[in-house]
Amino acid sequence: MTTPENAAPACTPAPATRGLPAGRMPELRVMPAPSDANVYGDVFGGWIMAQVDIAGSLPATRRANGRVATIAVNSFVFKNPVFVGDLLSFYAEITKVGNTSITVYVEVYAERNRLQANTVKVTEATLTYVATGDDRKPRKVPALDELIFPQER
């Protein structure tokens, strides 16, 4: 039986964000391995682009209620290098919904020397996805009230 004496604490303190955007959940968290680095020991831009594409596709897929294809990388900025062993957090936010397209802004933060709480924004990008049908042709983005995940805009 739960009594006031043995009840769990009413709330557990939220973990410190340590320089990560407060109150937001990353779509993806990944740690690059040595095989993801170039000859200089920094992580390949192409590897980062692939992870950004995956992260951006997640809210787009929920908003589209189904498959999407990347039609464009509208902008991509590598603001700081990424190193093997950085813990990367990918935050993605839908910025525009068109007839068949969904535009997503992705920000990437690296936690370096994690015990010293050193967090750096490394990348930001905007990508456009198109909702597609089983025939791989563009499909209208469904109305909000048709969504399985109504939290998506």
Interface residues with ligand COA (CB under 6 A) are: 69-72, 98-101, 128, 130, 132, 136-138
- Taking the complex as a whole, the smallest distance from the CB of residue 138 to ligand COA amounts, in Å, to 5
- CB nearer ligand COA, residue 80 or residue 100: 100
Task: Please tell me the distance from the alpha carbon of residue 43 to that of residue 22, in angstroms, as a whole number.
Answer: 26
Rounded Cα distance between 42 and 45, Å, is 9
Least CB distance from residue 64 to ligand COA, whole Å?
11
CB atoms within 10 A of CB 16: 9
Give the dihedral sign, CA 30/47/119/58.
negative
Closer CB to ligand COA, 30 or 97, in the complex: 97
Q: Which two tokens stand for residue 83?
A: 């190193």
- Say how far apart CA 118 and CA 59 lie, in whole Å: 28
What span, in angstroms and rounded, lies between the C-alpha atoms of 127 and 121? 18
Token pair 């170039």: residue? 38
Closest distance of CB 72 from ligand COA, Å: 3
> Least distance in Å: CB of 33 to ligand COA?
23
Please identify the residue of the shown chain whose CB is closest to the bound ligand COA: 98
